[in-house]
Amino acid sequence: MSESLAPGALRPGAISTARPSGSRFSAHKIGVSALVLVAISLMLPFASVSHSRIATGQSLQVWDVLDLLGIAVLSAPWAVVLVGSIFRPRSRMSSAMRGGAAASSVVVWMLVSGAAAGPAVQRVGPYARYSLGAGVWLAGFAAFALIISARRELGLGTVPGWVVTLLAPVGIAIAAAMGSLDDLGILVEYHNLGQRFWPSVGQHITYSASSIIVATILGVGLGVVAYRFRRASAPIFSVVSAFQTVPGLALIGILVAPMAALSYAFPALRRIGVGGLGWAPVVLALTLYALLAIVRNTYAGLASVPPQTVEAGRGMGMTSSQVVRRVQMPLAAPVVFSGVRTASQQTVANATLGAFVAAGGLGPLVFFGLAQQANDLVVLGSIALVALALTVDGLMRGLQYLVTPKRIREHMR
Amino acid sequence: MIRLESVSKHYEGAERPAVNEFSLEVAEGEVVVLIGPSGCGKSTTLRMINRLIEPDSGSLFLGDDDVRTLRVEELRRGIGYAIQGVGLFPHWSVRQNIGTVPRLLGWDKPRIEDRSRELLELVGLDPERYLEAYPDELSGGEAQRVGVARALAADPPVLLMDEPFGAVDPLTRDRLQREFLDIQRRLRKTVVFVTHDIDEAVRLGDRIAIMRDGGLVQYDIPERVLAYPADEFVAEFVGAERALKRLSLAGLRSVMRPQSGDCGIDPSVGVNANLREALSRILEVGEGALDVVAEDGCLVGRVSIEDILAHFQRPVA
């Protein structure tokens, strides 16, 4: 046979580096934008220092807090970004420079802030607090954008990609563990929480994970039923959509009374902790909330399998459940799993609402912080949430990759 | 081997039945081509045989069994089914695709592997190269070959083929058809083949069933369909060139006047040509008759336009 087999023909991994030649000057757009943001951030307050955790702070500019050497240290990583954005900005080397420098800048700015915080606090008084200013957050945002773009340019699964991704979180974790950041308001709040912080994170993870697992099992099942039995699909979709129209907090509120009644009626349930308050209404509400994305994507995924492929399966003697398991589900898996991913993001965010029914999790940190106007506590809770959300997203991408049949994967990236 | 008795199918909401009181008998080892314009019911008929579509009335028999008495999955596992290339499972390698029915039947791995290799060789693909390839790496023609191999995997006595060579270029289709005839000569399966291409029908079919509006218009061997179209519709459907199509079905060997003589004659026509090719060559040379030579280039006979005409005017049995 002369027709040729071309295994390399569709390898979508290779990124074309060719650019339409127009202007000779082609700096990296995100790099330049990030540099502009950092320049602005140096004009914004670098920190604020207050007499106590709830007092209004006094804004400090970067030159109030740091000497020239300190400012030079802050600028150093961004000088590298500048070089990487202008000099052959399309090369992998430049991507690595930008991403690495942006990630280091996060660590450097935190270390500089941590070092500056001690003397600044001592000047003001024993209960004084040092909070990071708007400038630091803006620079952090600029760095984040650069890390994301560099990570993509370097390739998600590659070693440089991982280094750029993990450099900032690991660096900050090490700095925090060594005590270099202890004078920052956020860390003071962390130490004040003492034994309560990590159990809160643990609870948050437990609620989110159990809701997602239950919702995935239920949602995939309902999606398959909705697809297989046309008559069932309208009722299933109207019910799961209905949950979405109720605001999360209201849904939890609605569940308080029936859950309380249940636990009153069945002491066995009460013994495992089911009640109007606590984990039960939260997990139930989160599960119901997560259903729509999963049911919808399962249905859409199954529907996206070409009818000829399904008919080939049936025509060769697969039973309907064999067709679903061997043909439709594997082909639908990427779509189904992106629904699970969406639902997971939602769930991690919504789990904060557990604060209102005494369920714990990271919610109380944020909401109590807001109530007390203790901004550093709010920030601590938020950072934990963001970190959790990003971790979950990464994990879900990994899982999505694993459940996708080898051959279908290559079309996804 | 396959018998359809007054089978009807009326889709919900359709104006008229897709298949109407349709009867047909397919003898064992024969290729029957169902052909007709779009919407004539040919695909519906094919799918009623393996019960992808259930008839409203009438009966279908496979051997002596009414297809309704068999469990539908068992029935289908015993019938090879080939459709256009898209029917390959994109997430499975060629090996897994071919092994679909054997796996359903519970064959063990080594047996499936051996069978897959054997079938790839049968359809002209190198197993070493193609066994682990995926459908998106195959050309249209290769995918169709794998589709045929997959249909043959469990060695079913009956094959249903729904435009299996529909989605390829004419050159590839020509080669696939030739290979199909080759394989069929060896395996002698009972085949029901759906196409809308009359040339394909004439070439591949032992018999052609021409359908229109869900009914059977003519059921006969290709030569007779071309020589004696049952009505205007069939005549028009088989096309204005039907005389030439008939010539392409007849070999030169039976028409020429045998002679023997020199070798290396030119102009001449090969003895394996069909009458259509011989006529074309005679017209080309422009002498009314032409020498016929064997593969070695030596004279074996002579054929004239009159011989061809005489053959053409003989009644078709």
Q: Which value does ipTM take for this structure?
A: 0.82
Q: Is the pLDDT of residue B310 over 50?
A: yes
A404: buried, middle or exposed (CB in 10 Å: 19+, 13-18, 0-12)? buried
CA distance A358 to chain B (A): 48
**Set of chain A residues whose Cβ sits within 8 Å of the Cβ of B75:** 317
For A106-139, the pLDDT digits (tens) are: 999 999 999 999 888 888 888 888 999 999 999 9
Reduced to 3 states (helix: H, G, I; strand: E, B; else coil), residue B66 is strand
pLDDT number for residue A257: 77
CA atoms of B144 and A196, how far apart (whole Å)? 65
Q: CA end-to-end span of chain B, whole Å? A: 24
Give the residue on A whose Cα is nearest the Cα of B125: A1
Average pLDDT of the segment spanning B127-142: 90
For B245-293, the pLDDT digits (tens) are 888 888 888 889 998 888 888 888 888 888 989 999 999 888 888 899 9
Q: Contact A308/B142, CB-based, under 8 Å?
A: no
Judged by a CB distance cut-off of 8 A, whether residue B84 touches chain A is: yes
Dump pLDDT digits (tens) for A173-224.
999 999 888 888 888 888 888 788 888 889 889 889 999 999 999 999 999 9
Mean pLDDT, range B125-148, rounded to an integer: 90
Quick one: pLDDT band at residue A276, thresholds 50, 70, 90?
low
* Chain A: closest CA distance from residue B137 (Å): 6
Cβ contacts of A7 on chain B, cutoff 8 Å? 133, 137
CA A170 vs CA A107, A286, B115: distances in Å: 9, 31, 54
> Are the beta carbons of B91 and A407 separated by less than 8 Å?
yes
- Is 90 exceeded by the pLDDT of residue A46? yes
What per-residue confidence (pLDDT) applies to A123? 85
Distance CA B8, CA A401 (A): 48
The whole-angstrom separation of Cα A332 and Cα A219 is: 14
Q: Rounded CA gap, A110 and A108, in Å?
A: 5
When pLDDT is averaged across residues A4-14 and rounded to a whole number, the result is 42
| Tokens 């399309």 -> residue | A90
pLDDT of residue B188: 93
Distance CA A107, CA A167 (A): 8
| A312/B81 Cβ within 8 A | yes
Nearest to B141 among A3, A6, A322 (CB): A3
B105: closest chain A residue by CA = A317
**CA B155 from centre of chain:** 18
Instruction: Give the Cα separation of A150 and A80 in Å (integer).
Output: 14
Q: Residue A153, exposed/middle/buried by CB under 10 A (0-12, 13-18, 19+)? A: buried
Chain position carrying tokens 């009326």: B10
Residues 312-371, chain A: which have Cβ within 8 Å of B? Answer: 312-319, 322, 327, 330-331
B83 and A315: CB-CB below 8 Å?
yes
Give the per-residue pLDDT at A358: 67
Q: List chain A domain ranges.
A: 27-182, 195-412
Which residue is it, tokens 């051996």? B114
**Which of A5, A317, A405 lies nearest to residue B137, judging by beta carbons?**
A5
Q: Give the distance from residue A323's alpha carbon to the nearest chain B alpha carbon, in angstroms.
A: 11
pLDDT of A214:
94
One-letter amino acid for residue A9 of the chain: A
Chain A residue numbers with beta carbons less than 8 Å from the beta carbon of B128 are: none
pLDDT tens digits, residue range A15-30? 444 444 444 557 888 9
B106: left (phi over 0), alpha (psi -120 to 50) or beta: left
Q: Kindly list the distances between the CA atom of residue A91 and the CA atoms of A96, A321, A359, B26, B219, in Å, as whole numbers in the listed order.
A: 9, 50, 50, 67, 69
Determine the pLDDT at residue A3.
41
Give the per-residue pLDDT at B155.
Answer: 92
Helix, strand or coil, per DSSP, at residue B251: strand
d(CA A224, CA A298): 7
Q: What residues does B195 pair with on adjacent strands? A: B35
Q: How far apart are CA B161 and CA B194, in angstroms?
A: 6
pLDDT digits (tens, 9 = 90+) for A131-170: 999 999 999 999 999 999 998 888 877 888 889 989 999 9
B64 by Cβ neighbours in 10 Å (0-12 / 13-18 / 19+) ranks as exposed
Q: A9 or B180: which carries more pLDDT confidence?
A: B180
pLDDT of residue B35: 94
| Closest alpha carbon within chain A to B132 | A7
pLDDT band at B152 (very low <50, low <70, confident <90, very high): very high
Calculate ∠ Cα A348-A156-A172, nearest 5°: 60
pLDDT of residue B169: 87
Eight-state DSSP code of residue A66: -
Give the H/E segment covering residue B257. strand B257-258
Is residue B100 within 8 angstroms of chain A, CB to CB? yes
Average pLDDT on A313-336 reads 91
**CATH code, A195-412:** 1.10.3720.10
Q: Which residues of A touch B139 (CB under 8 A)?
A: 3-5
Instruction: Give me the pLDDT at residue A413, please.
Output: 42
Cα A164 to Cα A106: distance, rounded to the nearest angstrom: 12
The whole-angstrom separation of Cα A362 and Cα A384 is 8
Q: Is B166 on the interface with A (CB under 8 A)?
A: no
Percentage above 70 pLDDT, chain A: 91
Asked whether the CA dihedral B267, B270, B274, B275 is positive or negative, the reply is: positive
Q: Judge: A317–B141 Cβ closer than 8 Å, yes or no.
A: no
User: What's the pTM?
Assistant: 0.74
Alpha-carbon separation of residue A18 from A14, A21, A22, A30 (angstroms): 12, 9, 12, 18
* Residue-level pLDDT at B86: 63
Instruction: Determine the residue of chain B that is closest to A3 in CA distance.
Output: B139
Q: For the segment B56-76, what is each residue's pLDDT rounded down to a tens digit?
A: 999 999 988 898 898 999 999
Contacts of residue B76 in chain A, CB cutoff 8 Å?
314-317
Residue B215 near residue B36 (C-beta atoms within 8 A): no
- How would DSSP label each residue in B106-129? T--HHHHHHHHHHHHHHTT--HHH
Distance from CA of A300 to the nearest CA of B (A): 18
Contact B125 A1 (CB under 8 A): yes
CB < 8 Å from A in window 105-164 of B = 124-126, 129-130, 133-134, 136-139, 141-142, 145, 150, 160
B292 to chain A, closest Cα gap in Å: 31
If you average pLDDT over residues A381-394, what whole number do you get? 89
In angstroms, what CA-CA distances link B138 with B90, B121, B130, B177?
Answer: 11, 16, 9, 18
User: Which residues of chain B make contact with A4, given a CB cutoff of 8 A?
Assistant: 139
